[in-house]
Amino acid sequence: MPVYIRKNVNFTPPSIDNFPLEDDEDYITDPDQLLDRLPQPYRMIDKVLSQWYDEVWQIIEKRENERLEESRRIRAPQYECSAQMESQGRACCVCDSVDGRYIFIGQPRGLSAVDVQTQEKVASWEEESVDIHYVKAYLIGVQVYLVVTIDDMGFARLLIFGGDKFYFVKILNEFQEGGTKLIISKCEASRNGDYLGAMFENPETAEVWLEVYKLPRDAWLNELESVLTKKEEKSEEDQGTDTQAPTDQEAPTPQNEVEPPPAATQEESTGGEKHTPKLSPTSVVMKLKPPPSMSELRQKGNPASSIHSACQKVDSGEVIGTGVNHILTPNHKDMRKEVFAHLHDNLMEYLPKEEEAEPLEDVNFHFMTAGRLVPTGLEQQSQIEEEDDMKRLPTTIAVWWKGSTHVVHYSLLKQHKDFDVKPDLVWPYLSPVTSSAISDDTSLLAVGFENGNIIIWDRYLGIQRGIVNIMDRVKIVQLTFLDPNICPQNLDDYQPYRTKTSTYLLALCDNGALYIMMSGPGLELDPICITPPVESEDDIFTMVQPIPGMHDLLITVLKSGKVQIRDTLQGTVLCEPVLPKSHELMTPWDPVVAVGAMGQVLFLKGNNKDYGEEEGGDQSESAGALFMYQMKLFPTLDSYMSRRRDKVSQTVHAKIENRIEALMKERIAQQGLRKHRMQERWGNMKEEIWSILQYKDMAEKKADNRPEIHYKRVRNLSQ
């Protein structure tokens, strides 16, 4: 067949730039692509199985690495309990006395005091339908204690324990017929029991306020002493009458028959309220309300009745305030709100919804003695120079509310009206306050914030010791001042007496990390991490407390229920007190733990794992037990138990007499080196005299070699 070929047509080869690129999925570059791709749905099944296999393999590798790390980790020794107090199986809370002689146990239907050394019940106070959930003891005299309790219904009671007996004082929020039932959620006293603060809550109106009471501590001690002396005299008289009674009768008669004690004596032995001696009443010092929130400030107007009275309440603008004292009345603000809603009716639905009602606030407060930050009380120089802490009275209370950004100081020596209290000192901050701590003698105050900062104030000198940032975006949960006897005290080179005391501050963060820092003269606040942040939620600390009398040891409780004893400065776990296998720690998030005998005995409350509440109805003694541990028998703590700890005062008041005495002692102590210094000085004097003579000869030679200039010639030249 004919073929038609076009003439004058040149062949053009393809350009190199137009070559197709290599395909990434080419089977030559990837050997896995030698096989054809699976069709659906097998391709999806293969993809799911491959992903599942990779995830399982990662889990296996993670578990294997954790198992290897756990096997290589050095485990702390575990010690079992020395004794089991089954009679205290219903304990709801435990606290130790300040001197370590007793422990006070809160139970259903009352309170009991147990001797730490013998583990025997010394006294008890019983009342029906009272379940004690909080107990705290304060030493107010020689073996006389103020016991503060809060039951499950929110009633706070004050009791005094002395002479192996409880004495009921009062109920702070006693319910009266026709009145409103008030609840107390927090109740704490000053160190020596001179003042007491209680947080009241009104469930009906959701109002919260703080009441501060003045406790007549000295009057209580005198009244109890008179009661005890009367009882001793009465017992001596009864013994005298018993010795004079006839004993030669053959048969007992109703007159000499042994009769049971009267009802009054039985009630006194159990701590009844009817036969308690009448003690001096307490007095209210002040009532404080929480500061208004930002939403309340925006909605609140000036409640003044007229414009003239509103102008009188307006601040001058010289200080930082809360913004409440302005000239805008509530009616004016309501009218502006209605006008705004009318003009923007079509856009009102897009506005953010109003915030829900916030929960009841929490308050934190500290009772403090006289210092130079607040001048109240400084006119009593004896209170500043007093070395006995029992004789130093609190003069100031520092208060901060949950979520607030300032710490407020109020004077306790001024007369205040209800809810009309003006602060003496206000510390405003940029970040909300989350924690605070005060030293034993109230000379140091530390404040922790939500942004991870910590500020330490020296109240005695009225200066700020420093600011430190632990970690960004980490909340400071707890602060604790440690005893200065575990901290090295460095003296300055130019003076032989101390001007300040160095001490350690322990800080706990919300990520589970523990930090320790030293605060002292000329020292920077460098935080040292002794426990890194935790990865597992079970390893979070629910309790971090220094052991009384031995602050170089910490007792910590984890959320998993483990109880550990750590070295304070290094953070290493020294040992773990463990419960029997049949028991577990009661409420690890709020454990029942107490240390008595100044760090010698440890008490833990454990619940029986096999106990069922439906079997017995009410909680019985078989539900748990109080376990006792003799920490002095732990081998890993032998070096700590035998360590000597001298008392170091945190407040240093260097009087002129003490300074002169210290300088004279230093001068006398250096007299032995004076002879050696004099001999060394006489030996160096020859060389010094020779160098002086040489310098003199050289000066004379230079003077002789200097050319002479006649006075007349110099005068002519000058003219």
What string of H, E and C letters represents the secondary structure of 281-337? CCEEEEEECCCCCHHHHHHCCCCCCCHHHHHHHCCCCCCCCCCCCCCCCHHHHHHHH
CA diameter of the chain: 165
Say how many CA atoms lie within 13 Å of 376 toward its Cβ: 18
**Euclidean distance between CA atoms 82 and 256, whole angstroms:** 47
pLDDT in tens, 324-353: 566 777 788 888 888 988 898 888 888 877
Asked if residues 626 and 586 have their Cβ atoms less than 8 Å apart, the reply is no
Q: Which residues of 517-531 are buried (b: 16+ CB within 10 A; e: fewer)?
A: bbbbeeeebebeebb
With CA atoms as reference, report the closest residue to 622 among 163, 10, 88: 88
**Euclidean distance between CA atoms 649 and 657, whole angstroms:** 18
pLDDT at residue 253 above 60? no
pLDDT, residue 269, reads 41
Asked if residues 283 and 310 have their Cβ atoms less than 8 Å apart, the reply is no
pLDDT, greater one: 248 or 320: 320
Average confidence (pLDDT) over 418-441? 88
Q: What is the sign, positive or negative, of the torsion defined by CA atoms of 659, 662, 668, 669?
A: negative
pLDDT, residue 128, reads 87
pLDDT in tens, 539-579: 999 999 999 989 999 999 999 999 999 999 999 999 999 99
Sheet holding 183-189, edge to edge: 183-189, 195-202, 207-214, 283-288
Backbone angles phi, psi at 322, to 5 degrees: -90, -10
pLDDT, residue 389, reads 57
Residue 677, SS3?
A: helix
- CA dihedral 574→577→578→580, nearest 10 degrees, is 150
- CA dihedral 645→646→647→651, nearest 10 degrees, is -110
pLDDT, residue 161, reads 94
**Euclidean distance between CA atoms 67 and 55, whole angstroms:** 18
pLDDT in tens, 18-40: 555 555 555 455 565 556 677 77
Which alpha helices (H) appear in 541-621, and where do they start and end? 613-616
Unique residue bearing structure tokens 């003690």 = 279
Which amino acid belongs to residue 238? D
Asked if residues 460 and 468 have their Cβ atoms less than 8 Å apart, the reply is no
